[in-house]
Structure 1
Amino acid sequence: MSTEVNDDQAELAPVRAGEMLDWDRLESYLREQLPDLEGDFSVLQFPRGSANLTYQVTFGDRQLVVRRPPFGTIAAGAHDMAREYKVLSQLHTEFPRAPRALLHCADESVIGAEFFVNEYREGIVVWDRVPDSMSGFDNAGERIGLAVIDALADLHEVDPGKAGLSDLGRPEGYLDRQLRGWQRRWAAVEPEVDSPETAAVMREVAARLVKGQPRSQRSGIVHNDYKIDNCQFRPGDPDRVTAVFDWDMATTGDTLSDLGTLLNYWPDSTLDPDSDAAFIAVPGMHGLGLPPRAAVIDRYGRSSSLDLSDIAWYEALGCWKTSVILQQLYARYVRGQTTDARMGERGALIPPLARRALGLLS
């Protein structure tokens, strides 16, 4: 099995130590289930993701993507491979930016966990800088940002029934379940939190979210982790998102929760960079030249008839949920369930993000 990496493939790298799978078993299983696979088998890893383990497997000149949950204890309802497969096997018919899923395996004996396989799409993911192929465009960062917002607005226009996903979730009571479920997730990892003060802020945010919960206006497909680095572009084209990734938390519910999540990740040059109000979970994005949050809300509002006056509550919800996710990743590192050193740095991001959530609710 070859694990060479092309230097031009910035999104791919040799598989990290400690994240190897039973490649022989995987190869045999895939050749059996997808009989049109021919040629030599090789594996690379998409190394920049934080949670699910994602690999590019190649058979000759055909490339596929294999996704499985991370090693270690998994929070209830998290890293749901069956859900992600269900979404991606259907959604592409109504939302072409969703890569098509090809195969789901519930047999954990193959690679040690449930997993699924989807088509590989070649393109560029924007991380902490404008890609070289787009750097010559005027206002490239602003155009990237607007394209990300437009793709989200398009997703929220999809009729779940037409996409075969009317049974994906239970829209009624969505926000109630979100609040209860994420409180349970926090409780499961709070023992590993770095300070009692942070734990207290997180509990206070939860209480204020419950008290100030708005009435949901419309239900639709919710990605539940929508952000710039879950979007893919063609090289040289900053104006259209061509693919959206990471659908394992997707459901049907209050679509404004997705806009709140996106705002939670969004840097804003109009704010004091040293304030909690400006803090985001991926600080490297500040140099992208994205439009400010007010422009994000305005752009989304042009495609939506929804009242956006409560959007600060949804952004606080996004900050709080992201803090829980970061604590889950940090707890896995503290417990020795991952060898990825990046996870050990996640704990430091939680206090300012939690304080930002509290500020949005004040």
Structure 2
Amino acid sequence: MSEQQRTRETIPVRAGEELDLARLTAYLGEHVPELASGDWRVEQFAAGHSNLTYLLRDGEREAVLRRPPLGPVAPKAHDMGRESRLLAALSPLFAKAPRPYLFCEDTAVIGSPFFVMERKKGVVADRRWPVEYEQTEENARLMSEALIDTLVELHSVEWRGTGLAEIGRPDGYMQRQVAGWIERYERSKTDEIPEAALVAKKLTDGLPESPTATIVHNDLKLNNLLLDEKDPSRVTAVLDWEMATLGDPLSDLAITLSYWAEASDPEVLRQGLSPLTTRPGFYTREQLIHRYALKSGRSVEQMDFYMAFATFKIAVICQQIYFRWKQGQTQDPRFAGMGAVAAQLIKVAAKS
């Protein structure tokens, strides 16, 4: 396999998203001995629609830098310090979480707060079949099970009595989530979608009683996993922890399912999420729910509510991205179609 195939998840840094490499490497040299000196180069990870993530490379040494997106961001969103602290507390308990090296709040270094963490390696299964694996239904099944089993493992982490107890407020979690995502939608709205009001009422009026709180990732989709290059059943890392907190594990399961496309879904969703999981061998959402219930021992009787909530939440995230693109805050061409995806997701949520 070529080196180009192995590193295809990175691209040259996009115009307007460059880092001041000289200032950055000087700062790292002063604060992180294991990253001191060297001839550092920077590339950008192509995937992801929120925070900007970069690969720092000096020969065999590598590290990953995360910073907020350009332009105005929502209050309390893209909190680099919080994500870094969470990973520092979680990584000793959940080995798939990257270990952070440092957090920097000095905006003079690269123009925003940022943190640097260890580089975890593995295969990203995103929109196309990973070149590392033979295209078989068995490998599709293994990737499906790897995702849901990792979610179960995360939800089993004992957070009480650790630093993780400080990252969230599990009491009243779903009430705050429902109210908060409705408010975010109103702030980022660009077009009238009649079904949005119906979804908001359904969620507000139908809140179930939550199970015991767990760590929730809140964005655990297939392309936020790194898989072993030779074994698609083994997860080497879970990425993108910016929305992780303490909360309702069934909402976390539903978020995962809302990113999971099936062959019978509308075309705009299959393409807007990822067409990969529509291929033969990948689990259906019902199969994923069944495996989660079997592995975790939790009841999934209220999943209709959670699916409506999660689908609406993903719609709002897409709408926020589209709003930034429409306002000219980002030039990334991937974002131009997010408005149509958001509208379709809201319609799906209304029918859940």
**Distance between the aligned counterparts of 1:275 and 1:27, measured in 2?**
45
CA contact (8 A) 2:250 2:303 kept: yes
CA deviations 1:308-362 (Å, max 9, x no partner) are 11112111111111111111111111111111111112111111111111110xx
The count of residues paired between Structure 1 and Structure 2 equals 348
Residue by residue over 1:184-234, the C-alpha shift from the partner in whole angstroms, topping out at 9 and shown as x without a partner, is 2112111xx2x32x2x32232111111111110110101111111111101
Does 2:134 align with 1:139? no
TM-score scaled to structure 1, two decimals?
0.91
Conserved 8 A contact 2:262-2:284 = yes
The residue number in structure 2 matching 1:177 is: 176
Cα distance in 1 between the residues matched to 2:64 and 2:167: 23
- Specify the alignment match of 2:335 in structure 1: 343
Q: Residues of 2 paired with 1:87 and 1:22: CA distance?
A: 26
Bigger shift: residues 310-319 or 145-154? 310-319
SS in 1 for 2:165: coil
Any idea what the Cα deviations from partners look like across 1:243-286, whole Å, max 9, x if unmatched?
100101110011111100011111234xx34489x768414222
Does residue 1:202 correspond to 2:196, yes or no?
yes
By how many angstroms is 1:137 displaced? 5.2
- Render the CA deviation track for 1:144-189: whole Å, top value 9, x for unaligned: 0111000000000001125531111000000111112112211211
Structure 2 match to 1:168: 167
Q: Is the 8 A contact 1:280 1:353 kept in 2?
A: no
Tell me if the contact between 1:58 and 1:64 (Cα under 8 Å) persists in the aligned partners. Answer: yes
Work out whether 1:231 is the aligned partner of 2:225: yes
Q: For residues 69-148 of structure 1, what are the structure 2 equivalents within 5 Å?
A: 69-135=68-134, 139-148=138-147
Q: Match of 2:233, SS? A: coil
Which residue pairs with 2:16 in the alignment?
Answer: 18
1:28 to 23, 26, 33: 26
* Aligned CA distance change for structure 1 residues 153 and 136 (closer, same or farther; 3 Å): same
Aligned residues of 1:209 and 1:317 also touching (Cα < 8 A)? yes
Q: Give identity over the alignment, percent.
A: 39
- 1:82 shift after superposition: 1.4
SS in 1 for 2:351: helix
Amino acid in the other structure paired with 2:204: V
Cα distance in 1, alignment partners of residues 101 and 127 from structure 2: 31
User: Residue 308 of structure 1 corresponds to which residue in structure 2?
Assistant: 300
> What SS does the aligned partner of 1:16 have?
coil
Match of 2:216 among 200, 222, 243: 222
Q: Is the 8 A contact 1:129 1:288 kept in 2?
A: no
Decide which moves more: 57-66 or 205-214. 57-66
- Conserved 8 A contact 1:265-1:281: no
- The answer on 1:264 being equivalent to 2:264 is no
3-state DSSP of counterpart to 1:344: helix
Structure 1 unaligned segments of length 5 or more: list them.
none
Q: Given the alignment of the two structures, is residue 356 of structure 1 paired with residue 348 of structure 2, yes or no? A: yes
C-alpha distance in structure 2 between counterparts of 1:180 and 1:77, whole Å: 16
- Alpha-carbon separation, structure 2, partners of 1:241 and 1:156: 16
Output the amino acid matched with 2:294.
Answer: R
Alignment of 1:275-314 (within 5 A): 281-285=272-276, 286-287=278-279, 289-314=281-306
TM-aligned CA distance change 1:261 to 1:275, over 3 Å: same
TM-score, normalising length: structure 2 = 0.94
Distance 2:142 2:314 in 1: 25
CA distance in 1: counterparts of 2:230 and 2:287, whole angstroms = 23
Separation in structure 2 between the aligned mates of residue 27 and residue 182 of structure 1, nearest angstrom: 38
Root-mean-square deviation (CA, aligned residues, Å) is 1.8
CA 1:154–1:315: 2 relative to 1, 3 Å: same
Q: What is the rounded CA distance, in whole Å, between the counterparts of 1:58 and 1:266 in structure 2?
A: 33
* 2:248 matched residue in structure 1: 254
For the Cα contact (< 8 Å) 1:101–1:118, is it kept in 2? Answer: yes
Q: Deviations over 1:113-162 (max 9, x none)?
A: 11111000111110123322221555111110111000000000001125
